[in-house]
Amino acid sequence: MAEFDYRRYRPFEPIRLSDRTWPDRVITRAPDWCSVDLRDGNQALVQPMSVSTKLELFELLVELGFREIEIGFPSASATEYEFARLLIEKDMIPDSVTVQVLTQAREELVERTFEAIVGVKRAIVHVYNSTSTVQREQVFRTTRDEITQIAVNGARWVREHAVRYPDTDWTFEYSPESFSATEPEFAVDVCNAVIDVWQPATGQPVVVNLPATVEMATPNVFADQVEHFCRNVAQREHIRVSLHTHNDRGCAVAASELGLMAGADRIEGTLFGNGERTGNMDIVTMAMNLYTQGVDPKLDLSDMARIIRVYTRCTDMPVHPRHPWAGDLVYAAFSGSHQDAIRKSMAFHDEEGQEHWNVAYLPVDPEDLGRRYEEVVRINSQSGKGGVALVLERDHGIKLPKWLHPVVSRVVQRQAEVSGDEVPSRQVRSLFESAFLVVPDNWQLKAYNLSSEKHETHGQFRLGGEPDVVLNGQGQGLIEALVAGIRQRFATEVSIIEFDERALSAGTDAKALASVIIDVDGERAAACCIDEDSSFAVLQATLSAVGRGLASADERMKRVV
């Protein structure tokens, strides 16, 4: 049998819930969020956070708007205990925030946990024990009744120790660890036994947390499990049902979203999904998923760059460049067709004054997350004419006529192909200037004089050189007069293929951009000129194009010879 053999595995057995209702539901409000970065996220790090780094991350979580934050496992280490004491003794927990601490269902650990949070105003004490079949049979070698007794004992110890500290507002939380791998009926039974101890109907706040400690099935199966639990758990109206999904199958966010539709009230997760193995549920992704559906996520993610800086500094963990919503490249379009669609869609959005964001390829306005539009369209060898035009217009205020887009794009694309790398915005501008704005030698317009007679323009044009060249010509307009002078002076045939002149901004002192494509002796050339004098811009763009065309024709003849 080959080592990579699918027959070693068997499919997860789905729950039989033929009358499920969650597929018809829509999420219309954010869940109660609980960040577990400082506990579950921290214990997954190669180098766990120090007290100072935990404090920096805690302060960020508060700023983002988390109202429930699991600060650690105080009975597990001196650092965890010290951090809890620091927050309480230095009065660093805002009144709007409830801290959460985790403990196993062992009496000495429960006692140590309460010692760590003496004096706290409000706290959630989270107790857990494993309930799954594989844990019962292979790890603990216990029966269902024995597992249930462990849970009940843990609930009693939590209740008894809480009574000793009446000045604190206590919430009790219980997790049947590996809920998703526990028989649905047994998961309900063990939680009901805990609820019977705590009696939330009498006013004691209770959270029952359902962990997918190891993600073992598709998200719809987890949603069925959650709906089954919510239907059958005791005192449902008096408890909050929480979800804690892991990402072993890459579906933690989807499982939490469907679980929320299935009846859950609360979500535990971490920033960017940091956690054991493949990670925890990513709160950033789920919150942004809600935001882009018009639902207030109750978290402020508007300064994503700062969130990433603090997160990476505290955890020494990177954020993938393709991470949903937050990655460096998620708003970058290199594909030419994507760039063109973005440019046109954003222009339509501005012109029509759309009430709701609806831009091609951009499910969110990057500015909402503090991102710059410079990051949206980026140029490499895969980019098209629309992308280059958008970069010039967006970053440098140069709006080219559409017929010039492919001409400019070819220049930029050649550079990308040679370098094999991205062409940054400033280099796009530099390439445009050198290829289209720089005046060829001896083709600089130094002065011109115009006069009109019988609807004809007479012009004299002085070109810099050794010595200066003077052109005289006449025609029905400015360009015709110049072209006539060029034909007469250089005995060459010049035809205007495309021409455009436009203001680059509003106002009397606005500069004009003139663009032209000409055919000179069978050689096509393009040039532009930017100047406050619109007539000068038109004349210089035409002269520059002629100069380039003649130079190209000479080069072609040399190659033939």
Q: Give 94-146 pLDDT, tens digit per residue.
A: 999 999 999 999 999 999 999 999 999 999 999 999 999 898 989 889 999 99
Residue with tokens 């024995």: 146
Nearest in space to 60 (alpha carbons), one of 38, 41, 81, 39:
38
Spatial CB neighbours of 510, under 8 Å, sequence gap ≥ 6: 503, 504, 532
Quote the pLDDT of residue 508: 64
Does position 32 have pLDDT exceeding 70, yes or no?
A: yes
Q: Where in the chain is the domain with CATH 3.30.160.270?
A: 445-560
Quote the pLDDT of residue 559: 43
pLDDT tier for residue 448 given thresholds of 50, 70 and 90: very high
DSSP, collapsed to helix, strand or coil, labels residue 46 as coil
For residues 256-291, b (16+ Cβ closer than 10 Å) or e, as one string?
Answer: bbbbbbbbbebbbbbbbbbbbeebbbbbbbbbbbbb
Nearest in space to 116 (alpha carbons), one of 156, 178, 72:
72
Q: Cβ–Cβ contacts within 10 Å for residue 480, how many?
A: 16
For 160-217, how does the pLDDT look when each residue is reduced to its tens digit (9 = 90+)? Answer: 999 999 999 999 999 999 999 999 999 999 999 999 999 999 999 999 999 999 999 9
Quote the pLDDT of residue 554: 62
Please provide the size of the chain in residues: 561
Quote the pLDDT of residue 163: 97
For 46-71, how does the pLDDT look when each residue is reduced to its tens digit (9 = 90+)? Answer: 999 999 999 999 999 999 999 999 99
Mean pLDDT of 390-397: 87
For 283-292, how does the pLDDT look when each residue is reduced to its tens digit (9 = 90+)? Answer: 999 999 999 9
Cα separation, 112 vs 361, in Å, equals 52
Question: Would you state the CATH architecture of domain 29-315?
Answer: Alpha-Beta Barrel (3.20)
Ranges of beta strands (E only) in 223-300 are 239-245, 266-269
Quote the pLDDT of residue 355: 87
Quote the pLDDT of residue 333: 67
Q: What are phi and psi of 432, to 5 degrees?
A: -60, -45
Cα separation, 86 vs 117, in Å, equals 10
Nearest in space to 379 (alpha carbons), one of 433, 325, 327, 343:
343
Quote the pLDDT of residue 151: 97
Cα separation, 529 vs 546, in Å, equals 13
pLDDT tier for residue 476 given thresholds of 50, 70 and 90: confident
Which two three-digit tokens encode residue 83? 């951090």
Q: Where in the chain is the domain with CATH 3.20.20.70?
A: 29-315
pLDDT tier for residue 384 given thresholds of 50, 70 and 90: low
pLDDT tier for residue 510 given thresholds of 50, 70 and 90: confident
Contact between 468 and 454 under an 8 Å Cβ cutoff? The reply is no
For 314-349, how does the pLDDT look when each residue is reduced to its tens digit (9 = 90+)? Answer: 999 999 999 999 998 887 766 667 777 877 888 898
327 or 377, which is more confident: 327
Work out the mean pLDDT of the chain and round it to a whole number. Answer: 91
What share of the chain in percent tops pLDDT 90? 73
Quote the pLDDT of residue 395: 86
pTM, two decimals, is 0.76
Quote the pLDDT of residue 561: 36
Spatial CB neighbours of 176, under 8 Å, sequence gap ≥ 6: 128, 129, 130, 131, 151, 182, 187, 190, 191, 210, 211
Lowest mean pLDDT among 245-249, 376-380, 480-484: 376-380
Which two three-digit tokens encode residue 142? 């216990």
Quote the pLDDT of residue 557: 46
Sign of the dihedral defined by the CA atoms of residues 212, 214, 218, 224, in that order: negative
Cα separation, 38 vs 311, in Å, equals 11
Domain 445-560 has CATH 3.30.1300.10: no
